[in-house]
Structure 1
Amino acid sequence: MLKTMKHQYKKYILLLPALVLSVSCTKLDLKPTDTLSPDNVYRNISDINKGLIGAYAAADYDMSSLSVTVSDEATFPTENIVGNSDAFRWLYTASNGSVTSFYYTCYIGIDRANRALAGLDALKLSGADLTLGNQYRAELLAIKSYFHLEALRAYAASYQNGALGVPYMKTFSISYPARDNFEAVVAQVKVDLLAAKALMPAGLTDKSRITAPAIAAIQARLALYEKNWADAIRYATEVINSAPLANKAQFPGIWTDANDNEVIWKLKRVGTTNSRLGDFFYRQTGGIVLYAPAQKLINTFDKVNDIRYAAYIKFDPSRTGFKSQYLVNKYIGGTSTAPGLTDIKLFRTAEMYLIRAEAEAESTGDAAGDLNTLRAARINGYTNASFADKAALIDAIYTERFKELAFEGHRFFDLKRRNMPVQRLAADAANASGAVLLVPEQAQYAFPIPAQEMQINKNTVQNPNY
C-alpha cells in the first residue's frame, strides 16, 4: 500500500511541472488587450485613412533643409552657436545625423505606406468604401513614390544609369536589401505613379493630400532627374494647365498662408507654438538667427522690382554687432499667435515652368517663353529676354531656379544634376572653416548612407570616398 502510494506521489510530482508548463504556455498565448496586433490594425476603410495620414506625417521640412544647409543659398551667422555647423562646413560623415536622419525619415514614410497598402489588400470593399479605397491606394502609391524619389535625390551616388541608388521597397518586410541602381528606382517609381494616377479621382482637390495634379508634379520632377525631357514637358504641362501661376498681388500671400494660389501639394501645419518652421530651422526662440540668406542669393535679385525679394528676404538694420541683418522671410508665417507656423509647399506651378523650360532647352523647344512668362509674373516692368545660345539659356534657367525655389530644397540637387560645384562667396563662408568650394570628386557631394545602416545591413554599400 505504502509502495503504491509512493508510486502515485511520484506520478503527481512528475505531472506538476507539465501542468505548470501547460498553464504558463496558455498564459503566454493570451493576446494583449491594450495593443493591436499588426494583423488587426487595418480593420476597415477608416483605419486605412489613419495609416495614410501616418505616412503623410513622415514628410516634413527636413526634405528641404538638407539642401539649404549644404548649398550656397544660406550662410551660417556668427550668432548661431547651436546650429548644424558640420553640415554647413561639409564635415559630415556617415555618423552625422544631420545628413543621415533623412534616410530614415524617407523609409519610415515608405514603411507606413506599404503597411497600409497591405492592410488595404486584405479588406473586402464594395460601394462607397471601394471608391474611397481606390483613392487611398492612389495616395499611398504616390506618397511611397515621393519618398523614394526624395531618398534617391539625397543618397544616390549620382543621377545616371548604373549609379548606386537606394533600395526600392515594394512591400513591407523585415529584410536587408541591397541598393538598387538609379535607373531601377526611377523605373519602379514610374510604375507606381502610373498606377496611382489611374486610380486617383479627379474630384479630389484637397491640397494637403496628393491629388491628380500632385501626381503629375511628382512625375515631372522625376523626369527631370531622369533627363527624360519628353516626359518632363508632358507632365509639367499637365500641372501648368491645372493651376496657373499666382499673380503679383497673390504671390506674397502664399508664404503667409493668406492664399494657396499655384500650390499643388502642401503639408498642413496647425497649432500655436509647435512645429514652427521659421523658428525650427531659420531662427531660434529669442531671435537668434540660425541660417541667413546667402549674399550670393541676395545679389541675384532686383530688390526694387522683383516681388520675390521682399517675400523671401528681410533686411533688419536694427540688428547690430554679431547679428545678421538679413533674415529668411519665406515661411515666417503671418500671425502673431503662430510665427513661423506656415504650410510647407512641396510642389508649386512655378517649379513646373522651370522644369518645362529646362526640358525644352534640352530638346529645342520654346524654353525662353516659359522663362519669360515666369519672370513677368514676378518682376514689375519686366521685358522679355532673348538668349544667344543653349548654354546661356540653361544658365539663365538655373539662376531662375536659384531665386524662385530658394529655401525649398532644390539648389544642392540642382547643382548635382549638372555635375557642377557648390561655389560660395567668401563672405558667405566666413564661418565655414574654409568650406568655399565643394566639387563632385569629394565624398560630401553625395550624402552618406547612415553608419548604422552599414553596420546592420551587410547587403548595402557606402557611397564613394567615405
Structure 2
Amino acid sequence: MKNIKYEMTFVFAYCLLVVSALCLLYSCDDFVSVDLPSNQLTGEAVFEDVATADAALAHIYAQLRHDVLVTGTSNGLSCLMGNYADELDYYSSGNLPALHFNQNNLLATNSTVGSIWKSTYNLIYASNAVIEGVLNSGSLSATNKSRLLGEAYFIRAYLHFYLVNLYGEIPYVVSTDYKVNTTISKLAVSDVYSKLTTDLQQAISSLPATYAVAGRAKPNKSTAHAFLSRVKLYSGQWSEAAFYADEVIGTTSLYNLPSTVTSVFLKTSTGTLWQLMPQTNTFNTFEAQTFIFVTGPPPTYALTDGLVSSFEVGDLRRTNWIGTVTSGAQSWYYPNKYKERVATGPSVENSILFRLEELYLIRAEANAQLDNLTSAQDDLNVIRNRAGLSNTLANTKTALLEAIQDERRKEFFTELGHRWFDLKRTGMVNSVLSGVKPGWDATDILLPLPSSELLLNSNLLPQNPGY
C-alpha cells in the first residue's frame, strides 16, 4: 500500500493529470476542447481500473492535506478560525492569511476568503467526477464501485458542510456540467443540510465497515456515522445525533478511547476514526510546524490567555497539549497536541479529522437537550476523567449544556474550527467575541461571499449581510 498513500505516485501520475484538469471548475470548457496527448488516459478510462480510480480519490486527499480547508498549514481552518474566534493571538509582522481573520476586518475581496471557496468547490467538482465516472464504469467490480462511491459521497458532503458553516447559503454542486455549475443558485441552509444527509446516507450504505487501507486513512462506515452525528447535532436533531453517536461508540472492535491524553494524537491512537496520511512515511504533521515555536515573542501565533486560563487545576490537557515558551518575565503558549515538527523514522503523528472524543461529547449534548441528564453526565465524565478531572458538578439541563461547551473548548482547541462553529451554532458567538474582538459585529458570523464569484455568477447574490 506504500505506493498509494495519498501521494500522486509516478505510477498514477498520468491519470491524475486528467483529474487535476477536471478540478478546474471554471476551465472545464478549455479541458474538453483540447486533445489529450496520446499517452494520457481519458477521463472515462480512469474509472475502468480500480487503481486509477483510487488515484483520482488520492488526489483529493492530498489536496485536503496540503491546501484545502482541513490542512494543518496556515491556510487551514485550525489556524484561520482559531484566529477568527478566541483561541489564537496574531504576532507576525507579516501579512499572513490569518491576519485579517484575527483583526476582524475581512472583505469580500480578501484573497484567502476567495481561495477557501474556490479550492473547496474544485474538490467538490473532483468528487462529482469520481461519482459520475464510477457510476458509468463497466469494468469495476460491485465491491469496488460501492467503496469508491461511498468515499466520494462522503467527501462531497464533508466539503459542503464546511462551506455552509462558513458562508451560510451556498450552492450544493452535484454535477460536472460546467454550464450548470457556473449559473447555479444558492440553497437555504436547511436545504444544504438535507442534501448533506442524503449524501451521508449514501456513504453509510456504500462504505465498508473496515478500513480500505492501513492507518485509518480513508473514511469507513463509522466515519460516515460520526459525521452524520455531527450534522444532526448542528441541525438540532438531538435524537438522531445521539443515535449515530451510539453507532460509533458501540463499535468496540475498532475504537476505544485512549486511556491517556498523551496517546490521543499518535497515528496509532485507538480513538481515531479518520486521519490524513503524510506525503512520506517520515513526515509528521503540518499542524506541528504551524503552531509550535521555541523562542519568544511568538513569530506567528500563540494561544490566547483566555483559553489557557480556562483549564481547571490538574487538567492533563493543559500540561500535555499546551507548550510554554518563557523569555524573562513573560510567557507565551502554543498548541502542542502534535509534537513532531521534523521528520522521524517512521512518522508517528498524522492529521486527525475525526476522533472518538467528539462522539462522546455529541451524545452528551444531545442527551442533555433531551433531558436525559444522567446519560449526559456519564459521557461528559468520560472525557473529564480521562483528563484527570473529577466528575462534573452540573446537574441541570442549563448547567450541563454550559459544561459540555466548556469541555469542547478545552478538548478541541485549534482543531479544524470546532470552537468557532460551536460558538456560532449555539448562539454564543456575539456575547463571547464582542468582548474580545475589536469592532465585532453580529454580521461577522458569516464570511463574505467572494466578490470574484459574485461577478462570475449573479445567482449567488445577494452578498452576505455586513459586506
Tell me the TM-score range normalised by the shorter chain.
Answer: 0.7 to 0.9
Q: How far 1:210 sits from its partner (Å)? A: 0.4
Question: Partner of 1:326 in structure 2?
Answer: 333
Note the aligned Cα RMSD (angstroms): 2.9
Instruction: Give CA-to-partner distance per residue, 1:174-213, whole Å, 9 cap, x none.
Output: 1221111111111111111111111222232641100111
Check conservation: 1:74, 1:291, Cα contact below 8 A.
Answer: yes
Give matches, 1:54-93, under 5 Å. 54-59=59-64, 60-61=71-72, 62-77=76-91, 80-83=93-96, 84-93=98-107
Q: How far 1:43 sits from its partner (Å)? A: 3.4
Paired with 1:394 and 1:437, the residues of 2 have a C-alpha distance of 28
Check conservation: 1:332, 1:341, Cα contact below 8 A.
Answer: no
Amino acid at match of 1:325: W
Question: Partner of 2:466 in structure 1?
Answer: 465
**More displaced 10-residue stretch of structure 1: 62-71 or 447-456:** 62-71
Percent of residue pairs bearing the same amino acid type: 27
> Aligned pair in 2 of structure 1 residues 92, 285: CA closer, same or farther (>3 Å)?
farther
Give matches, 1:106-145, under 5 Å. 106-125=120-139, 129-145=141-157
SS at match of 1:72: coil
> Aligned pair in 2 of structure 1 residues 357, 273: CA closer, same or farther (>3 Å)?
closer
Amino acid at match of 1:351: E
Amino acid at match of 1:33: S
Paired with 1:453 and 1:185, the residues of 2 have a C-alpha distance of 19
Q: How far 1:41 sits from its partner (Å)? A: 3.7
1:150 to 2:152 alignment = no
Instruction: Give CA-to-partner distance per residue, 1:69-108, whole Å, 9 cap, x none.
Output: 200111123x554533211010011111233422223212
Amino acid at match of 1:260: S
Paired with 1:95 and 1:178, the residues of 2 have a C-alpha distance of 20
Check conservation: 1:246, 1:262, Cα contact below 8 A.
Answer: yes
Question: Partner of 2:319 in structure 1?
Answer: 310
Q: How far 1:310 sits from its partner (Å)? A: 2.3
> Aligned pair in 2 of structure 1 residues 283, 154: CA closer, same or farther (>3 Å)?
farther
Give matches, 1:187-206, under 5 Å. 187-204=194-211, 206=214
Question: Partner of 1:52 in structure 2?
Answer: 57
Greater RCO (Cα-Cα under 8 Å, separation 6 or more): 1
Amino acid at match of 1:252: T
Q: How far 1:341 sits from its partner (Å)? A: 8.6
SS at match of 1:316: strand
**1:182 is matched with which residue: 164, 189, 203?**
189
**2:245 is matched with which residue: 219, 224, 236?**
236
Instruction: Give CA-to-partner distance per residue, 1:32-78, whole Å, 9 cap, x none.
Output: 3254443444332222111111222232231433321200111123x
Amino acid at match of 1:454: L
Aligned residues: 411
Check conservation: 1:232, 1:359, Cα contact below 8 A.
Answer: yes
1:38 to 2:43 alignment = yes
Question: Partner of 2:28 in structure 1?
Answer: none
Instruction: Give CA-to-partner distance per residue, 1:149-194, whole Å, 9 cap, x none.
Output: 11111111xxxxxxxx211112222122111111111111111111
**More displaced 10-residue stretch of structure 1: 266-275 or 84-93:** 266-275
Paired with 2:205 and 2:256, the residues of 1 have a C-alpha distance of 24
Instruction: Give CA-to-partner distance per residue, 1:326-374, whole Å, 9 cap, x none.
Output: 2221223276659999421111111111111111111111211211121
Paired with 1:98 and 1:200, the residues of 2 have a C-alpha distance of 33
SS at match of 1:33: coil
Question: Partner of 1:25 in structure 2?
Answer: none
Give matches, 1:447-462, under 5 Å. 447-461=447-461, 462=463
**1:368 is matched with which residue: 377, 395, 405?**
377
Paired with 1:425 and 1:342, the residues of 2 have a C-alpha distance of 36
Check conservation: 1:278, 1:341, Cα contact below 8 A.
Answer: no
SS at match of 1:292: strand
Amino acid at match of 1:449: L
Unaligned runs of 5+ in 2: 1-32, 65-70
Q: How far 1:254 sits from its partner (Å)? A: 2.9
Paired with 2:333 and 2:60, the residues of 1 have a C-alpha distance of 36
**1:438 is matched with which residue: 429, 437, 440?**
440
SS at match of 1:197: helix
Normalized against structure 2, the TM-score is what?
Answer: 0.80
Unaligned runs of 5+ in 1: 1-27, 157-164, 430-434
**More displaced 10-residue stretch of structure 1: 276-285 or 68-77:** 276-285
> Aligned pair in 2 of structure 1 residues 213, 326: CA closer, same or farther (>3 Å)?
same
Check conservation: 2:171, 2:186, Cα contact below 8 A.
Answer: yes
Larger Rg: 1
Paired with 1:388 and 1:43, the residues of 2 have a C-alpha distance of 58
Paired with 2:308 and 2:346, the residues of 1 have a C-alpha distance of 23
SS at match of 1:232: helix
